[in-house]
Structure 1
Amino acid sequence: MTEVRSTLDVNSPEYAENRDTMLGRLAALEAEQAKAVEGGGEKYVERHRKRGKLLARERVELLVDPDTPFLELSALAGWGSDYAVGASLVAGIGVVEGVECLITANDPTVRGGASNPWTLKKALRANEIAYANRLPCISLVESGGADLPSQKEIFIPGGALFRDITRLSEAGIPTVAVVFGNSTAGGAYIPGMSDHVIMVKERAKVFLGGPPLVKMATGEEADDEELGGADMHARTSGLADHFALDEPDALRQARRVVARLNWRKANADPPQEVVAEPLYDTEELLGIVPGDLKVPFDPREVIARLVDGSDFDEFKPLYGASLVTGWARLHGYPLGILANAQGVLFSEESQKATQFIQLANQRDIPLLFLHNTTGYMVGKEYEQGGIVKHGSMMINAVSNSKVPHLSVLMGASYGAGHYGMCGRAYDPRFLFAWPSAKSAVMGPQQLAGVLSIVMRESAAAKGKPFDEEADAGLRAMVEEQIESESLPMFLSGRLYDDGVIDPRDTRTVLGLCLSAVHTAPVEGARGGFGIFRM
């Protein structure tokens, strides 16, 4: 039998403490996510409704198929910045007429849907996901363009947004723009470059220059409708392919456009039709990760609550035991899993991971990285044993692997271990974090301690006395800063992940991601890993 046998004691004080800590973090997370849902606040939501318009999430809800999930991405974008949480844009993956699509919707209750620097980063990440996974793109547009006070951070990099639309189209990935309101100035190029365009009567406004700009530039008098109304674009300019009478009609027409795409996934169905649920309750995922990440936990307990039938064939279980590797299925899809067990990665773990990644590429099997690592081991014995070249070997394998990678940060994800476990810089198709996760160059205490040692040695070299009191104050300040900057909401606000998720939702989220990645061909590298230093 290859079923994981759980030894988790759900009646233990440790489990209860871990669960309470996780629930507290989830409550804090939900409070921040609610800010994104609130948009611009009650005043602007009410004003928007009085104009007879739907909210961004209501538009998405009417667009997607009834009773199907919508996987929202980057919900905390802009958290901790001067801009609204969510960055005035809703983004995610939803099913429209049976087709998985990447959907974005401007939130016009936040500064008229204007794009700030985090809006741009979020939109570019959405395009990146669509391109890598070959997901048709639907843009629900109502935006006043760039947030002018921050134009210096938007204008130059913002051109990539329009470039992406054309590259998606060139790659044969359909792009659909549904214009509900303003799509002006640079924003006019969103419908201008999309394959299919739908505009709402008397609401859509698409022009490079509005009446004031036209008056200033040419002296010409013209109103909104003459310059860029839906009726004009449908009858005269030809920019609108479809003329909608109102918002529900526009969304109905968008669904019909998708229905006529003749879109086919590279892998239409999971290879295993009958899917067995895990043997253990996913609710128990709340009590596995300790509140103190210095306390280790067995990732097999997590795996047992994620994979089909809790069935897991472990690879090299007696070698490099600080990294658990093995094969499973999740919602019917084959999957290779790498999960940190005791935090530190040694040479054995690095070599084991490298071989495992190569095997997954030979078999065209996606990889899931479950993070809880403090990084690669340091010290004289390990340096002499080749930890640099062995860690480099693992990072080389991750870098050049061609199968889709999914990453979930459960606990610590520090130092080069974050890279070896396919952190953001290594282009995982999707990366999510639990509220318990932390990520930084190293732990707060270690980083503050290193700085203290360096300053102490510097003082000694100069023959100066070392100020212990000032050192203690500096260490406390550095620890507090690094702690705050390593927390998941801070990192998610900067789009270093695709969202912070409830551990209980992990199986569902990964199932949606695996379905999405199989829209594109899943093919591994055949050789081509560069030079491994032996």
Structure 2
Amino acid sequence: MIRSRLDPGGADYRSRREAMLGKLADLDAEQAKAVAGGGEKYVERHRGRGKLLARERIELLVDPDSPFLELSPLAAWGSEFPVGASVVCGIGVVEGVECVITANDPTVRGGASNPWTLKKSLRAADIAFQNRLPYVNLVESGGADLPTQKEIFIPGGRIFRDLTRLSAAGIPTVALVFGNSTAGGAYVPGMSDYVVMVRERAKVFLGGPPLVKMATGEESDDESLGGADMHARVSGLADYLAEDEHDALRIGRSIIRSLNWRKQGTMPLEPVQEPKYPVDELLGIVPEDLKIPFDPREVIARVVDASAFEEFKPAYGASLVTGWARIHGYPVGVLANARGVLFSEESQKATQFIQLANQSRTPLIFLQNTTGYMVGKDYEQGGIIKHGAMMINAVSNSTVPHLTIVMGASYGAGNYGMCGRAYEPRLLFSWPSAKSAVMGPAQLAGVLSIVGRASAQAKGQVYDEEADAAMRAMVEAQIEAESLPFFLSGRLYDDGVIDPRDTRTVLGMCLSAVNSAPVPETAGFGVFRP
């Protein structure tokens, strides 16, 4: 068992805790914007029509008292579009089956899809496909947000391709249609395995009455053109005709129950044991100044079962902690940055550990707090490029499920070696303390200053120190803003910003979800340079 050296009564702990609580308050405020949807006016108008909100539909669909792991709730943060991107996505349990669920939020511009809605929906489909999770769409959308059609139309075709590929892979797709499903949105039920439509509410057509009038001169009404009753009796698009929204959700649950779905991965082999240390103490571990290192074992001790951790190569490559543990009964391998910088020893240690995890088919958890791979003459001559490449090679070609948590810094190629977004972890979450960029703001501004100074010297010009100071301040401020977790999460570079105290629960849900899929084939690694 890990023996914690954390002092919850110390001044450092208290200041770190207060800083994290402040960040969590900011997170709550931003997530509240997504929950608010289109605002009170449009929420009340929606309710006035006798309709449920998107999150209410999800709550009634999933099993009572079961968790719902919402994904990308801050999508579109910092853009011209509302936080949440007019769609709710996540993993929930329906009739005992873990499913990916997406629900259009019709209080936000009628549920129309903007560029961030598209990115979020595509990410949800990827998660369903990678982890073999049935995919349920709760549909009420006016189609594409027309002013931004140039960013949606061409890449948006992938939504329909993904639905057919999920079906071809034997992963069920279900569409529950509560209202308008117009234009491209009509293909969501059109390409789903099971379709439920709500009587007198659902309207599914490629072109509504105004468009039909413009295109053909034909006069038609909503019901005869695309009403639920017509699709159930005439076109055959609707498989089930629901009397109201509650009935549609009941039918949706019945469909999932009838799948007789079985997980194909591994199940926990040992009883679940809670960590020996309070999860609340995770709030006081990460310093507000990420230049100050912290011991990731303190995090591991509050996340893994019984705080038990079998450390691998503890005396070698000490800046990277590796070892074996269990989370909610699932065996895992853990890689966690201890002092930020990755040296050759850490890279070689990680490469071996990843190969061992693949040999035993053990999922890997990456806990990121890295400033990148070490630079300098001695390290270059010592082969840091080769050794860093070995680690990235191992991460790239590892086939066991990867789950990543960004706790602190995630800079440079360290982001790649520790399985950042580009390396396709099954799921990736950030803490409010996380920061990610090509390098730290001060370092990046300093590099630009050095380059500018050298350029002026080469031209025989006097370097403008005042302009340099202004440039550095501007660049540092920009990079600092663009490296913060809300900014990154808004662009879907993670699957959500989470409270550190939820880390164990989130990882447990993820480990259960990824094991809906079969254990992957054995990895084949590329050439490791000696």
How high is the TM-score relative to the length of structure 2?
0.99
Q: 2:147 aligns with which of 122, 146, 149?
A: 149
Q: Is the 8 A contact 2:266 2:519 kept in 1?
A: no
Q: 1:89 aligns with which of 87, 90, 112?
A: 87
- 2:16 is aligned to 18
**Cα distance in 1 for residues equivalent to 2:388 and 2:444:** 21
**Cα distance in 2 for residues equivalent to 1:438 and 1:522:** 33
- 2:159 is aligned to 161
| CA shift digits 1:105-155 (9 cap, x unpaired) | 000000000000000000000000000000000000000000000000000
Residues 242-321 of structure 1 correspond to what in structure 2 (within 5 A)? Answer: 242-267=240-265, 269-272=267-270, 274-321=271-318
Bigger shift: residues 515-524 or 282-291: 515-524
Is structure 2 residue 502 aligned with structure 1 residue 529? Answer: no
**Cα distance in 1 for residues equivalent to 2:321 and 2:521:** 21
Secondary structure, in 3 states, of the residue corresponding to 2:203? coil
Residue 220 (structure 1) shift: 1.4
**Cα distance in 2 for residues equivalent to 1:213 and 1:111:** 19
Structure 2: unaligned runs, 5 residues or longer? none
Is structure 2 residue 194 aligned with structure 1 residue 190? Answer: no
Residue 524 (structure 1) shift: 5.4
Residues 225-236 of structure 1 correspond to what in structure 2 (within 5 A)? Answer: 225-236=223-234
**Cα distance in 2 for residues equivalent to 1:295 and 1:524:** 40
**Cα distance in 2 for residues equivalent to 1:269 and 1:420:** 28
Q: Is the 8 A contact 1:366 1:522 kept in 2?
A: no
Secondary structure, in 3 states, of the residue corresponding to 2:445? helix
Q: Is the 8 A contact 1:322 1:341 kept in 2?
A: yes
| CA shift digits 1:8-63 (9 cap, x unpaired) | 00010000000000000000011000000000000000000000000000000000
- 1:467 is aligned to 464
Please tell me the residue identity of whatever aligns with 1:150.
T
Residue 525 (structure 1) shift: 2.8
Q: 1:384 aligns with which of 378, 381, 385?
A: 381
**Cα distance in 2 for residues equivalent to 1:210 and 1:152:** 21
| CA shift digits 1:332-355 (9 cap, x unpaired) | 000000000000000000000000
Secondary structure, in 3 states, of the residue corresponding to 1:339? strand
Secondary structure, in 3 states, of the residue corresponding to 2:471? helix
- 2:48 is aligned to 50
Residues 92-491 of structure 1 correspond to what in structure 2 (within 5 A)? Answer: 92-267=90-265, 269-272=267-270, 274-491=271-488
**Cα distance in 2 for residues equivalent to 1:55 and 1:522:** 37
Please tell me the residue identity of whatever aligns with 2:290.
L
**Cα distance in 2 for residues equivalent to 1:184 and 1:268:** 41
Secondary structure, in 3 states, of the residue corresponding to 1:206? strand
Please tell me the residue identity of whatever aligns with 2:398.
S
**Cα distance in 2 for residues equivalent to 1:525 and 1:441:** 32
Q: Is the 8 A contact 1:400 1:525 kept in 2?
A: no
Q: Is the 8 A contact 2:441 2:477 kept in 1?
A: yes
- 1:496 is aligned to 493
Q: Structure 2 vs 1, CA of residues 268 and 522 (structure 1 numbering), >3 Å: closer, same or farther?
A: closer
How many corresponding residue pairs?
530
**Identical aligned residues as a percent:** 77
**Cα distance in 1 for residues equivalent to 2:152 and 2:265:** 37
**Cα distance in 1 for residues equivalent to 2:431 and 2:266:** 30
CA RMSD of aligned residues (A): 0.6
- 2:505 is aligned to 508
| CA shift digits 1:136-189 (9 cap, x unpaired) | 000000000000000000000000000000000000000000000000111100
Residue 523 (structure 1) shift: 2.9
Residue 216 (structure 1) shift: 1.6
| CA shift digits 1:355-414 (9 cap, x unpaired) | 000000000000000000000000000000000000000000000000000000000000
| CA shift digits 1:297-325 (9 cap, x unpaired) | 00000000000000000000000000000
Structure 1: unaligned runs, 5 residues or longer? none
Secondary structure, in 3 states, of the residue corresponding to 1:202? coil
Q: Is the 8 A contact 1:336 1:360 kept in 2?
A: yes
Q: Is the 8 A contact 2:445 2:475 kept in 1?
A: yes
| CA shift digits 1:439-466 (9 cap, x unpaired) | 0000000000000000001100110000
- 1:9 is aligned to 7
Bigger shift: residues 318-327 or 515-524: 515-524
**Cα distance in 2 for residues equivalent to 1:260 and 1:68:** 20
**Cα distance in 2 for residues equivalent to 1:268 and 1:49:** 43
Q: Is the 8 A contact 2:275 2:304 kept in 1?
A: yes
| CA shift digits 1:228-256 (9 cap, x unpaired) | 00000000110000000000000000000
Please tell me the residue identity of whatever aligns with 2:7.
D
Q: Is the 8 A contact 2:408 2:433 kept in 1?
A: yes
| CA shift digits 1:166-216 (9 cap, x unpaired) | 000000000000000000111100000000000000000001111111112
**Cα distance in 2 for residues equivalent to 1:32 and 1:213:** 38
**Cα distance in 2 for residues equivalent to 1:384 and 1:255:** 61
**Cα distance in 2 for residues equivalent to 1:522 and 1:365:** 9
**Cα distance in 1 for residues equivalent to 2:235 and 2:138:** 21
| CA shift digits 1:66-121 (9 cap, x unpaired) | 00000000000000000000000000000000000000000000000000000000
Secondary structure, in 3 states, of the residue corresponding to 2:207? coil
**Cα distance in 1 for residues equivalent to 2:399 and 2:93:** 26
Please tell me the residue identity of whatever aligns with 2:436.
S
**Cα distance in 1 for residues equivalent to 2:360 and 2:28:** 39
**Cα distance in 1 for residues equivalent to 2:521 and 2:441:** 37
Q: Is the 8 A contact 1:361 1:523 kept in 2?
A: no
**Cα distance in 2 for residues equivalent to 1:525 and 1:383:** 33
Residue 479 (structure 1) shift: 0.3
**Cα distance in 1 for residues equivalent to 2:95 and 2:127:** 20
Residue 267 (structure 1) shift: 3.0
**Cα distance in 1 for residues equivalent to 2:269 and 2:39:** 46
**Cα distance in 2 for residues equivalent to 1:269 and 1:441:** 38
Q: Is the 8 A contact 2:34 2:82 kept in 1?
A: yes
Secondary structure, in 3 states, of the residue corresponding to 1:392? helix
Residue 270 (structure 1) shift: 1.8
Runs of 4+ in structure 1 deviating by more than 2 angstroms, as ranges, are 522-526
- 2:66 is aligned to 68
Bigger shift: residues 517-526 or 363-372: 517-526
